[in-house]
Chains A and B, each alone.
Chain A
């Protein structure tokens, strides 16, 4: 069975601080990994994804994530957060056969 664990449920940062959100997964097959973001009052949208190749992937709005196979991790990073990054962030694993598993989510609050 596949599972996703996000380490932090709520993170509070000041603007310009660096961000790292942890994500660990458990899955026996080929992994397809995603980070989605949900801004207040909006629906989920893709931030970035990893399927194969370079383990460091870059997404929108300056976000990046690193896939470390040996640690079963896919942590999200941003060097300098902005107030507009306040949102809920979800790590997800998707199997080729269709089943999709999301983490519990991390709420990020950025103080101006």
Chain B
């Protein structure tokens, strides 16, 4: 089944304790992206990746890191989480970016609800 998976789905942690949220897709997609969803603010893009070893900042990259060493994986790293990073995080992927309607549709993962105390 074609899908985007995220782990963990729920995480409660404390300020300053480094964490990684994994994202994996099995559709051979080139493009992957991370968003956070907060009430009243919609989805805001954190980082995106056009392909392996190619990443770029979205609108809210501060406090986050990403890496894209393999095509299927795009982990989100919080080196020193803070309470303002409490949010619902979504990973998404698409076949390509800029290739038109058949390739640009993003497929979303189920979300990771993160609470930083």
Contacts and interface: CB of A to CB of B under 8 A. Distances in A.
B105 A99 contact: no
B35 A102 contact: yes
Interface in A87-105: 90, 92, 94, 96-105
A49 B92 CA distance: 16
Interface residues of B, number: 27
Contacts of B98: 96-98
Contacts of B31: 98
A101 B90 contact: no
A90 B90 CA distance: 14
B108 A45 contact: yes
A42 B30 CA distance: 24
A43 B45 contact: no
A9 interface: yes
A77 B33 CA distance: 28
Interface stretch (B19-27, B36-44, B71-79): B36-44
A101 B44 CA distance: 7
Interface in A55-112: 90, 92, 94, 96-105
